[in-house]
Amino acid sequence: MGGERITSRPGGGVQVAETGRKLFGKQRRETFLEHLAATCNVKRSADAAEVTVQCVYRQRMKDGAFREAWGRALEQGYARLEAMLLERAARAEPVEVEGDLVLSEEPFDRELAIHLLREHKKGLAGIPRAPQPALKSAEWSEVETYFIARLKALKVRIEEGKA
């Protein structure tokens, strides 16, 4: 189920060992993003890429380029959903999606789709979002200092409330 890595043997030579996890490399990222663009479904897309949902969210959190690609994939997914809704409204019959990817094998929830599109359009109508920088790494001492200061401020507020 996991990936493989080559290790050296104690007595010399090499061996192939199972790693127990699959790396989220270029091919798996592309597979995930293709499925996300087709389905707007993170779980199904992660399954198609043979990785966990936690893996893709972790990658999204730490990799700005992947986060941007994710956003573009969702934009494509919303465009497909909108086109499908328009076609269904015009033809009043189910729409078949061309290609290898199918939007859903489950019954189509028209009301949910319309609700999601409305919410998406509201977001687009607002102020354009600035690109989010990648999360900054911090030393433990910085984290500790930050939280100690927050706890001291909380203590002051609590004591002021009792007075």
- 28 vs 133, higher pLDDT: 28
The answer to whether residue 147 sits within a structural domain is no
The answer to whether residue 64 sits within a structural domain is yes
The answer to whether residue 152 sits within a structural domain is no
- 22 vs 42, higher pLDDT: 42
pLDDT at 135: 61
Number of domains in the chain: 1
Contact by Cβ (8 Å): 94, 31: no
Q: Which two tokens stand for residue 70?
A: 């994710």
- 143 vs 48, higher pLDDT: 48
* pLDDT, tens only, 68-95: 999 999 989 888 887 777 676 655 444 4
Tell me the residue range of the domain where 12 lies: 4-137
The span from the CA of 84 to the CA of 94, in Å, is 9
